[in-house]
Amino acid sequence: MSQVAEAAVPVAQPLSTVELVVLDMAGTTVRDDGVVERAFQRANERTGVADRMPWEEALQYVRDTMGQSKIDVFTHLAGGDRARAEEATSAFERAYAELITEDGVQPIPGARELLEDLRDAGVSVVLTTGFAPVTRDAILDGLGWRDLVDEALSPVDVGRGRPAPDLVLGAALVAQVSGVGAIVVAGDTASDVASGLSAGAGLVVGVLTGAHDRAALEAAGAHAVIDDVTGLRALLGLPERHRG
């Protein structure tokens, strides 16, 4: 059972007041294990998009901007050259697909059961990601999660990627929530946290299974930080599953 990290301010939102839970994918509900970084490296090898700067500097930028729209990240790496950024983004999507085909795609332990129990409790669930739809859909199909969520959104579906609020607000429209205070957002990056806060979500939670550490998530303003996504059970009062 995951616990709220000790350094976080204890925060909870009763399940009865929650209408929508918005969850990030890679690093939050889906194991990353360095796949994103490896896909970026393959994309750079194939396109040279980051050749204008030292590779370690480029890689650090990729780490710092985890969770954001990949086309925006590549546009920065390409020095504003949109055509090169689009080429590199396509190369990244192909590389990511190759890697998950080679290695498979795995959920964060307990994530599937959490999705099932939220839906059973009458709460809408929307997954969000900085990936393009082709990559997002490959992950969903690999996990067999299409029937577990109300929707899965990419930046192209809503306008802007994180840290803008568009993904969360797009999810709110899908779920037809009564107000943004009824939304819970959880993600593993500072961009996830910023997106949830700017959307006005009632509870914004940082998760320690992905790109950013506790200090970064707390600095971004997370209301709480948890070890992994199953820690939402304690924050929402969702009962633990009995395992035998």
Q: Please tell me whether residues 157 and 185 are part of one structural domain.
A: yes
Q: Confirm whether 132 is domain-assigned.
A: yes
Q: Please tell me whether residues 84 and 134 are part of one structural domain.
A: no
Contacts of 45 (CB under 8 A, 6+ apart): none
Ranges 23-27, 36-40, 175-179, 218-222: which has the least confidence: 36-40
Q: Confirm whether 4 is domain-assigned.
A: no
Q: Confirm whether 206 is domain-assigned.
A: yes
Q: Please tell me whether residues 147 and 184 are part of one structural domain.
A: yes
Q: Please tell me whether residues 123 and 226 are part of one structural domain.
A: yes
Q: Confirm whether 7 is domain-assigned.
A: no
1 pLDDT above the threshold of 80: no
Q: Please tell me whether residues 188 and 227 are part of one structural domain.
A: yes
Model confidence at 132, pLDDT cuts 50, 70, 90, reads confident
4 pLDDT above the threshold of 60: no
Q: Confirm whether 187 is domain-assigned.
A: yes
- Write down which residue in 54, 88, 103 finishes a domain: 103
Tell me what pLDDT residue 11 has.
65
Q: Residue 16 has what DSSP assignment?
A: G
| Pairwise CA distance, residues 240 & 238, whole Å | 7
Model confidence at 130, pLDDT cuts 50, 70, 90, reads confident
Q: Please tell me whether residues 232 and 118 are part of one structural domain.
A: yes
Q: Please tell me whether residues 139 and 21 are part of one structural domain.
A: yes
Tell me what pLDDT residue 64 has.
82
- Write down which residue in 79, 103, 127 finishes a domain: 103
Q: Confirm whether 243 is domain-assigned.
A: no
- Write down which residue in 103, 134, 163 finishes a domain: 103
Give the model confidence (pLDDT) of 19-47 as tens digits.
999 999 989 999 887 788 888 889 888 98
For the beta sheet containing 124-128, the strands, ordered from the edge strand earlier in sequence to the opposite edge, are 151-153, 124-128, 20-24, 183-187, 203-207, 224-226
| Pairwise CA distance, residues 79 & 84, whole Å | 9
Q: Please tell me whether residues 224 and 148 are part of one structural domain.
A: yes
Model confidence at 69, pLDDT cuts 50, 70, 90, reads confident
| Pairwise CA distance, residues 164 & 194, whole Å | 7
Note the pTM of the prediction, 2 decimals. 0.82
Q: Confirm whether 155 is domain-assigned.
A: yes
Residue 138's SS3 state is: helix
Ranges 64-73, 125-134, 200-209: which has the least confidence: 64-73
CATH number at residue 135: 3.40.50.1000
Q: Which domain holds residue 63?
A: 35-103
Which is more confident, 241 or 206? 206
- Helix 82-103 and helix 133-143, axial crossing angle in degrees, nearest 10: 10
Q: Please tell me whether residues 56 and 133 are part of one structural domain.
A: no
219 pLDDT above the threshold of 50: yes
Q: Please tell me whether residues 228 and 161 are part of one structural domain.
A: yes
- Over residues 128-155, the mean pLDDT reads 91
- Over residues 51-60, the mean pLDDT reads 87
Tell me what pLDDT residue 10 has.
43
For 29, the token pair is 């509900």
- Give yes or no for a contact between 193 and 204, defined as CB atoms under 8 angstroms apart: yes
Q: Confirm whether 3 is domain-assigned.
A: no
One-letter amino acid at 189 equals T
Q: Please tell me whether residues 115 and 190 are part of one structural domain.
A: yes
- Give yes or no for a contact between 43 and 92, defined as CB atoms under 8 angstroms apart: yes
Model confidence at 198, pLDDT cuts 50, 70, 90, reads very high
Centre a 10 Å sphere on the Cβ of residue 203 and count the other Cβ atoms it contains.
Answer: 23
- Per the structure, the count of domains in the chain is 2
Q: Please tell me whether residues 152 and 89 are part of one structural domain.
A: no
